[in-house]
Amino acid sequence: MGKKLKLGMVGGGVGAFIGEVHRKAASLDGKYELVCGAFSSSAEKSEKTGNELGLDPNRVYGSFKEMFENEASLPESERMDAVSIVTPNHVHFEPAKMALEHGFHVIIDKPLAFSLDEAKELKKIVESTGNVLALTHTYTGYPMIKEARHYVSSGKLGSLRKIYVEYPQGWLSSALEEEGNKQASWRTDPSKSGEGGAIGDIGTHAANLAEYVSGLEITQICADVNIAVKGRQLDDDSAALLKFNKDVSGVLIATQVAAGEENNLKLRIYGEKGGVEWTHTNPNTLLWKPLDEPVQILRAGTGYLSEAATSNTRLPAGHPEGYLEAFANIYVAFHDAVQDFKSGSYKSVNDYDFPNVDDGIRGMAFVSTMVKSNNSDKKWTEFVV
């Protein structure tokens, strides 16, 4: 296992959903110790959170600026190694930039930034500092997603033809943001989320997953982006026809007004010789559909899977793993990269299997292309990074 990394956190105060997820994901495998945090822009709230987490009060900060400066001044044996940034989208860029510039590695919730410009700027900083940055596109962490990717890359499907990815949610079917729901409020607020609502919040996950598993890139989009709940400023519903490179086409659905749906992310990829299907409600299963043969139910934890799947599984087959484990897989991979960095063996982020700044840029480009396409009468809009 090796030594635990010392982790700091920006955001994730009381009532935050994703901050708690990051903490559990980091804890699960015993590879991180949370040592400090700036959990809220309110010093009082930050203090309260730090106290609840049992942190040294001296390392619970009222602002991320204060945290980075103070932590950077501590001796290496004490100071944090890396920071989790789990704030709403409009507070991603500044802390990430500052963390990198103070020598800290960064693991950041998606989407990478508030805008494509911010995302590109961040990439420059990653490159100039040479530090490690990971982006938590959770779903790429599932072992059966790794297996799906392995099936594609190893040629079992033959030449790819179709990619269908959908992420239907129903929780924003009514105007929860008007009822004080914190999660709904920032997600529907363009000053906090950026130019994308559902397309940023979940559409980026769908697009990222399709590209990750297929190994392809979206090249053109034809989007229909809607506001279903009257009064909203940001989209809560979208669909798009997609073109990928290598002559592959597809369909993407990302909606938050499919009443009754939870987080039903689903990916289907078809090639000449067969198809794969994965659904988030049953994440330890991958369906393999060879042409003219029986469908096979591939299961996490079994002996017949690829190394990529196996190394991202903790339990034998039939003991279900879930979202936190997928999330933790990204933390484990990021841990390995940072440890390698510290030991001098780190060469390139591409040697590690976690989403990075390039995925983040493509995510922001996805959002802006969806918006651009939606505003256009032309059928196809180029996906430009």
- Binders of a second copy in range 257-276 (CB under 8 A): 257-264, 268, 270-275
Maximum distance among all Cα pairs of the chain, rounded to whole angstroms: 65
Query: Does residue 164 interact with a second copy by CB under 8 A?
Result: yes
Of residues 57, 58, 73, 292, which one binds a second copy by CB under 8 A? 292
Footprint on residues 20-59 left by a second copy (CB under 8 A):
20-21, 23-24, 27-30, 34, 52-54
Report the alpha-carbon distance of residue 242 to residue 72 in Å, rounded.
45
Q: If you search the block for the tokens 């396409």, which residue do you land on? A: 373
Closest contact distance (angstroms) between CB of 317 and a second copy is 5
Cis amide bond preceding 111, omega within 30: yes
Smaller CB separation from a second copy, 68 or 270: 270
The smaller minimum CB distance to a second copy, of residues 297 and 384, is found at: 297
Site string for a second copy, 314-353 (x = CB under 8 A): xxxxxxxxxxxx----------------------------
Query: First-to-last CA distance in the chain?
Result: 38
Question: For residues 300 and 313, what is the distance between their CA atoms, to the nearest angstrom?
Answer: 7
Toward a second copy, which CB reaches closer, 41 or 264?
A: 264
| Closer by beta carbon to a second copy, 215 or else 318 | 318
Rounded distance, CA 350 to CA 129, Å? 16
3-state secondary structure (DSSP) of residue 127? helix
Which x/- pattern over 188-227 shows residues binding a second copy (rule: CB under 8 A)? ----------------------------------x-x-x-
Residue 290 interacting with a second copy (CB under 8 A): yes
* Paired sense of beta strands 218-226 and 160-168, if any: unpaired
Number of Cβ within 10 Å of residue 315's Cβ equals: 12
Question: Given the rule CB under 8 A, which of 69-77, 81-89, 120-128, 310-318 is the region that contacts a second copy?
Answer: 310-318
Q: Does 161 bind a second copy (CB under 8 A)?
A: yes
Q: What angle do CA 357, 185, 89 make, to 5 degrees?
A: 15
- Token pair, residue 166, equals 């959908």
Q: Which of 81, 109, 235, 237 binds a second copy (CB under 8 A)?
A: 237
Instruction: Using the minimum distance from each CB to a second copy, give the nearer residue, 66 or 295.
Output: 295
Spatial neighbors of 375 by CB under 8 A, at least 6 apart, are none
Choose among 330, 342, 291, 335: nearest CA to 143: 330
Q: Contact region for a second copy (CB under 8 A) — 78-86, 94-102, 334-342, 375-383?
A: 375-383
